[in-house]
């Protein structure tokens, strides 16, 4: 008997294919407005500076998509899950992913974003685009909107916090200020009663409780350089402020991201580390989730439940 085939649209931010592609990528992020030569130069320089090749996000997303498909198939052999990629700012775009499912004869699908916290400006944007394309092509799709408190996600993050804390001398660990971080967004999301800040705080609190942390806070990172105000405080300002208060051991835990990419490998490993050296602070960061089996199981669990709910 042929197995029922379920499409899974795995959505992620996307990254250029090569340095030649940075301009088109940046133009897409800027909704069709090309960057100035200075902005392009600045972004290209950041890609050139990161460790692990120019664009590690592409390979990491490829591996996560494969890992999720393998986990779904192993956990649910009675159906055939087929994963497709849909990227926000690079090919294959979200719409391409939906189209590819339809071309392959998929009639029911679940969409999920490789970002655990919901915001209308992040996850909501991916979902809107996928939904519109699916409706146009007559594909029945349902969507996972958030999974920021999934126990297996918290397990994976807890292990990382504990491992990173062990990089500090044993007698000094209670002096380490743990800062949970996520990508900032324009402040206007607050007027929309967007759940993003609360969900990030909920993940932070759950982790602090599990690890038994009392010395922690939340900080925003990677804010855009635009005229509108972005959510703060920014982690670089937090680092300066707490150093003045006497904190010289900091652990950054980027809970809003699930991969090694520019915002982790540059904004934390290069920019924040440079500031830490200047301030005389010992700075560590937790390892990214990438294809951690616990993360793959988290995704598999929420996708399967969403499919069952919608079936
Ligand atoms: O490694 C890579 O090539 C890509 C790294 C990357 C990730 C990422 C994730 C998020 N972003 C979010 C929001 C915004 C908003 C803007 C914005 C702009 C940029 C620029 C680059 C960039 N983002 Fe990003 N983001 C990554 C990279 N992001 C490069 C343009 C230059 C700059 O500002 O630094 C402002 C433009 C706009 O209004 O759209 C807002 C959010 C996430 C986390 C959730 C997700 O992954 O979707 C939120 C990775």
Ligand 1 geometric centre to CA of 46 (Å): 13
42-51, 221-230, 244-253: range with highest mean pLDDT: 244-253
Q: How many CA atoms lie within 13 A of 258 on its CB side?
A: 28
Distance in Å, CA 57 to ligand 1 centroid: 12
pLDDT over 70, % of the chain: 99
Over its C-alpha atoms, the chain yields an Rg (Å, rounded) of: 20
Mean pLDDT, range 152-168, rounded to an integer: 98
Q: CA 249 to CA 99: how far, in whole Å?
A: 49
100-121: pLDDT as tens digits: 999 999 999 999 999 999 999 9
Ligand 1 pocket, 267 CB below 6 A?
no
- Classify residue 36 by its DSSP letter: P
The rounded distance, in Å, linking the Cα atoms of 68 and 194 is 28
Q: Is the CB of 40 inside a 6 Å radius of any atom of ligand 1?
A: no
Ligand 1: atom nearest CA of 224 is 33
Q: How far is the CA of 242 from the centre of ligand 1 (A)?
A: 27
> Does residue 239's CB lie within 6 angstroms of at least one atom of ligand 1?
no
Q: Is 161 in the pocket of ligand 1 (CB under 6 A)?
A: no
Ligand 1 centre and the CA of 107: distance in Å?
Answer: 31
Angstrom distances, CA of residue 122 to CA of 142, 256, 276, 288: 17, 11, 30, 19
pLDDT classification of 52: cutoffs 50, 70, 90: low
Closest CA to 183 of 193, 194, 195, 197: 197
Beta carbon of 13 within 6 Å of any ligand 1 atom: yes
What residues form DSSP beta bridges with 112?
10
Mean pLDDT, to the nearest integer, of 220-239? 95
- Does the beta carbon of 71 sit less than 6 angstroms from any atom of ligand 1? no
pLDDT exceeds cutoff 80 at 53: no
Q: Please calculate the CA angle 305-310-311 and round it to the nearest 5 degrees.
A: 100
Nearest CA residue ID for atom 40, ligand 1: 185
Residue 189 near ligand 1, beta carbon < 6 Å = no
What are the distances in angstroms from CA 38 to CA 5, 172, 187? 48, 43, 26
Q: From ligand 1's centre to the CA of 174, what distance in Å? A: 33
> pLDDT tier at 282 (50, 70, 90 boundaries)?
very high
Mutate to test the pocket of ligand 1, among 29, 128, 231 (most ligand atoms within 8 A of CB): 29
H helices present in the chain, as ranges:
22-29, 37-49, 56-75, 94-103, 123-137, 151-165, 196-211, 235-244, 262-265, 273-279, 293-310
Rounded to whole angstroms, how far apart are CA atoms 161 and 259?
16
Categorize the per-residue pLDDT at 311 as very low, low, confident or very high, splitting at 50, 70 and 90: confident
Tell me the ipTM for this assembly.
0.95
């Amino acid at each position: 008997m042929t197995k029922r085939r379920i499409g899974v649209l795995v959505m992620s931010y996307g990254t250029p294919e090569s340095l030649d592609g940075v301009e088109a990528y940046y133009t897409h992020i800027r909704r069709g407005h090309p960057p100035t030569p200075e902005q392009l130069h600045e972004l290209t320089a950041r890609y050139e500076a990161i460790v692990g090749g120019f664009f590690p996000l592409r390979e990491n997303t490829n591996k996560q998509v494969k890992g999720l498909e393998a986990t779904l198939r192993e956990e649910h052999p009675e159906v055939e899950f087929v994963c497709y990629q849909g990227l926000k700012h690079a090919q294959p775009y979200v719409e391409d992913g939906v189209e590819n499912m339809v071309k392959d004869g998929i009639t029911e699908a679940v969409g999920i974003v490789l970002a655990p916290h919901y915001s209308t400006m992040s996850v909501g944007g991916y979902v809107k685009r996928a939904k519109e394309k699916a409706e146009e092509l007559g594909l029945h799709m349902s969507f996972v909107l958030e999974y920021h408190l999934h126990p297996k996600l918290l397990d994976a993050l807890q292990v990382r916090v504990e491992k990173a804390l062990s990089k500090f001398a044993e007698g000094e660990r209670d002096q380490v200020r743990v800062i949970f971080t996520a990508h900032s967004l324009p402040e206007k999301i607050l007027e929309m009663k967007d759940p993003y800040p609360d969900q990030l705080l909920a993940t932070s609190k759950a982790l602090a409780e599990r690890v038994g942390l009392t010395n922690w806070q939340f900080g925003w990172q990677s804010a855009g350089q635009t005229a509108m105000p972005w959510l703060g405080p920014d982690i670089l300002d937090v680092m300066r402020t707490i150093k003045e208060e006497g904190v010289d051991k900091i652990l950054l835990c980027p809970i809003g991201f699930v991969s090694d990419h520019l915002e982790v490998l540059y904004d934390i490993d290069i920019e924040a580390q440079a500031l830490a050296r200047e301030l005389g602070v010992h700075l560590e960061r937790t390892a990214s989730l990438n294809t951690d089996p616990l993360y793959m199981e988290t995704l598999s669990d929420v996708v399967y439940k969403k499919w069952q709910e919608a079936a």
